[in-house]
Structure 1
């Protein structure tokens, strides 16, 4: 059984049997077997599509004054550092 969200109400064994019996009586609402549940796959991928070449996280040690100037340049300073390195090494 998957991990449930906090506050989820789980039926008792007797309630579960009653639910299953009612579902079996309805031709349009047959419960799935364990094998069918294992075969279930998501039909929609959530989130952003994966990048062909994702950026890699690294640890870089910089002098405090250099880091202060970079951070003071505003949001996106890490992207600008990446551009500076690309330009410097002609990538």
Structure 2
């Protein structure tokens, strides 16, 4: 899913979704792509942005699950935000 069909003009926020084999939970990779190259230039800002889209009826727990996959460029602290129905 992306915030724009025409991301090649200015990059954009992008999310990939997967359904796990563990009870059918859905996990996501939220990130921001750079213009033209579509290379990831942000993870943490995108994670915060996506989590902020959830309002009433949802519980958002930032940095709830350590995935042990932190990287420095672009910065990803390795912690996942858990979003569940309230």
Quickly name the TM-score band, shorter chain normalised. Answer: under 0.3
Name the structure with the higher strand share: 2
TM-score by length of 2: 0.20
Report the structure, 1 or 2, having the larger helix content: 1
| TM-score for the superposition, normalised by structure 1 | 0.19
User: Which of these two proteins has the greater Rg computed from alpha carbons?
Assistant: 1
Higher relative contact order (CA 8 A, sep 6+): 2
